[in-house]
Structure 1
Amino acid sequence: MTSGWLPHSLLGYVQDFALKVLAAGPIPRHVAFVMDGNRRYARKHNKQIQQGHSAGFVALRRVLEVCLKLNIRCVSAYAFSIENFKRSPDEVDALMKLAEDKLLELCQHGNLLDEYGVRLNVIGRTEMFPEPVQAAIRKAEAMTRQNKRSILNLCMPYTSRDEITTSVETCVRKAVETDCIVTEKDINDNLLTNLGGSPPLDILIRTSGVKRLSDYLLWQCCEDTQIQYTDTYWPDFGLFDFIPIILDYQRKMWAKSAPSS
C-alpha cells in the first residue's frame, strides 16, 4: 500500500502514532511471513529478478523494525525454500550472493538487532548452502547469541515437511535409546523453531495474493494460528498493509476474551 502522497516528516509522525495506538491492544508473540512476489515486483517495475530479491531484503528490514517497535517477540521469514534450488542456476547463484552479502551487512550494521536485543536463528538445511554463505550464517548467528529479548528466524533453505521429518527422526532415535514412546509433544519440542526458543505462532502472513502455505510452518499453523493473505507484493509491504492484519488479530483476541452472555 503506497503512502507516497504524505510528506516524509508527516509520514513518520503518522507511522509512530499508528504504532502507539496498535501497541495499546493485544500484540501477537510470533508473526511469520511468506515473503512472496519479489519476481513479479521486478517484472512489474522492469527490473532484473535479482533486483526484486534485493528489494525484498530491504522490505524485511523495514517490516522487522515495525514488528520490534510493536514488541512482537518473534518474527519468522521464509527466505529460501529447499525447492528454490530447482530455479535457474543464475537466479540461485544471485540469491546465494545476496544472502551472503545481506547476512554480513546485518552484522556490520546490526544496530537494529542490538537495539531491540534480537537473536538471529537461521533455520533449515544450511549445509546445502555454499561454504561462504554458511560462514556468513555462523558469523551472524554468533554475533547475536547474547541477545535475549527478541528472535528473528530466517528459514533457509527450509521446507516444513523436512523440518517435521527431522523432528520425527530425532524423536525415534531418542525413543530407541531410552525405550520410551514418541508423543506429539516430543515432535513439537524438536521442531527447529522450538529448538530456537520461538513462542507459538499467532499470525502467518503471505503477500502477493497467492493463497497457499507452500510448505511453510505447517505444523506450527495447526493450532490457533490466524492466516492472512494480502495482494501486496513483498517489496511493497509496509506498516499500512500490516495495520489491518494486527487490528483483525486484536478484534479476534477481544472477542475471545469477552464474557459469554
Structure 2
Amino acid sequence: MNHITSRIQDFASAKAQSALLTVLAAGPIPKHVAFIMDGNRRYARSQHKQVAQGHGDGFEALKRILEMCMKLGVRCVSAYAFAIENFKRSPEEVGALMKLAEEKLVEMAQHGELLDQYGIRLNIIGKKDLLPPAVQAAVKKAEDMTRHNNKAILNLCMSYASRDDITSAVEASVRASLHSGRERALTQDDIDAHIMTSVVDSPPVDILVRTSGVKRVSDFLTWQCCEDTQIQFTDCYWPDFGLWDLLPIILDYQQKVWRQKG
C-alpha cells in the first residue's frame, strides 16, 4: 500500500510540475540557458557517498533539468561537464569521471529516449583530443546518433575552457583570412563565427546559472555571455537543483524582458 501511495504522490507531483512549466512557457522564454554544474563533490560528502556517486547524481540532475527546459521551450542548453583545468585533479577522480562520461554517452546513444523525444541534437564542445580514446569513440557515436535531431540543442562541454575556445576561434579566423587571399583586419564577427557554440548553431547565452554558492564563471562561455546575459548564482549543490530552483530564475528573466518592452 505504501508503494502504491508513493507512486500516486509521484504522479500527482509530476502532473503539478508539468502544469507549472506550461504556465511559465506562456511568458518570454530564453533561447539558450547554460549551467555550471558545481557542487557534485561537496554534495557527495554531505550525503556520505563516494565522489563518483556524486558525479553520477549530477548527471541525473542534468537529465531532469534538460527535460524541464525542453518543456519550457528553451532551444539550447549548455552544461559545463569537465574543464580542461579538471585534468589537474587526482588521477583517481579524473579516471572515474572519464569512465562515467563514457558510460553515460554510450547510454545516451543506445537509449536516447529523452533526446529523441524532444528532437535534441547532442554536441560535445571542447578539445576532444584530450579525452581518452574510449571516451572519444563514445562521443562520436553519441553525436552521430542525434545528428538527425533539429528541434533543440544540448552542448555538453567536456575538456573545455573559454580561453582555449577564443584562442582556437582567432586561429581559425586567421587561417580563413589567409585562405581568402585578402588582407584585412579581423573583426568580432570573424571570431564569433568560429567560436565553438556558433559552429554548432547555438544562439548567444541568455541565462548562465552556477550552483553551489560559488560566484565566478570559471572560464566558461565568457565570449558567448553577451552584455544581456543574466548571470544567476544559487546556493544548492547541482545534484539537488530542481524546479523550485529554476523557477525564480525563469521568472526573473521574464520580468526583465517585460520591463524592457514596457
TM-score by length of 2: 0.95
The aligned counterpart of 2:126 is: 124
User: By how many angstroms is 1:240 displaced?
Assistant: 1.1
The DSSP-based 3-state class of the residue aligned with 2:143 is helix
2:75 corresponds to: 73
1:245 equivalent to 2:249? Answer: yes
* Aligned-pair CA distance for 1:9: 2.7
- State the match for 1:183 in structure 2: 187
- Report the equivalent of 1:103: 105
What is the CA deviation profile of residues 70-129 of structure 1, one whole-angstrom value per residue up to 9, with x for unaligned ones? 110000000000000000000000000000000011111111111111000000001101
How many percent of aligned residue pairs carry the same amino acid? 61
Q: Give the equivalent residue in structure 1 for 2:64.
A: 62
Residue 108 of structure 2 aligns with an amino acid whose one-letter code is: L
SS at the partner of 1:7?
helix
Tell me the SS of whatever aligns to 1:176: helix
The separation in 2 between residues aligned to 1:25 and 1:222, in whole angstroms, is: 22
Q: CA deviation at 1:43?
A: 0.5
Q: 1:17 offset after TM fit, Å? A: 1.5
Stretches of 4+ aligned residues off by more than 4 angstroms? none
**Count of aligned positions:** 254
Q: 2:171 aligns with which of 162, 169, 172?
A: 169
SS class of match (1:96): helix
1:229 aligned to which of 200, 220, 233: 233
Shift of 1:8: 1.7
Q: State how far apart, in whole Å, the 2-side matches of 1:17 and 1:85 are.
A: 42
Residue equivalent to 2:219: 215
Tell me, in whole angstroms, the C-alpha distance in 1 between the residues paired with 2:164 and 2:24: 36
Q: 2:22 aligns with which of 14, 20, 23?
A: 20
Q: Note if 1:199 corresponds to 2:206.
A: no
What is the SS of the residue equivalent to 1:72?
Answer: coil
Secondary structure of the residue that 2:247 maps to in structure 1? Answer: helix
CA deviations on 1:168-219 (whole Å, 9 max, x unpaired) are: 0111122223223211001011100000000111000000000000000001
Which consecutive residues of structure 1, in runs of 5 or more, have no partner in the other structure? none
> How many angstroms apart in 2 are the aligned matches of 1:10 and 1:255?
35
The alignment partner of 1:156 has SS state of: strand
Counterpart code for 1:70: L
Counterpart of 2:47, as a letter, is H
- Contact conserved, 2:165 with 2:196, CA < 8 A, in 1? yes
CA contact (8 A) 2:205 2:226 kept: no
Long gaps (5+) in structure 2: 1-5
Offset at 1:11? Answer: 1.2
1:10 deviation in Å? 2.5
Q: Distance in 2 between matches of 1:31 and 1:115?
A: 19
TM-score by length of structure 1 reads 0.95
Q: Distance in 1 between matches of 2:254 and 2:51?
A: 36
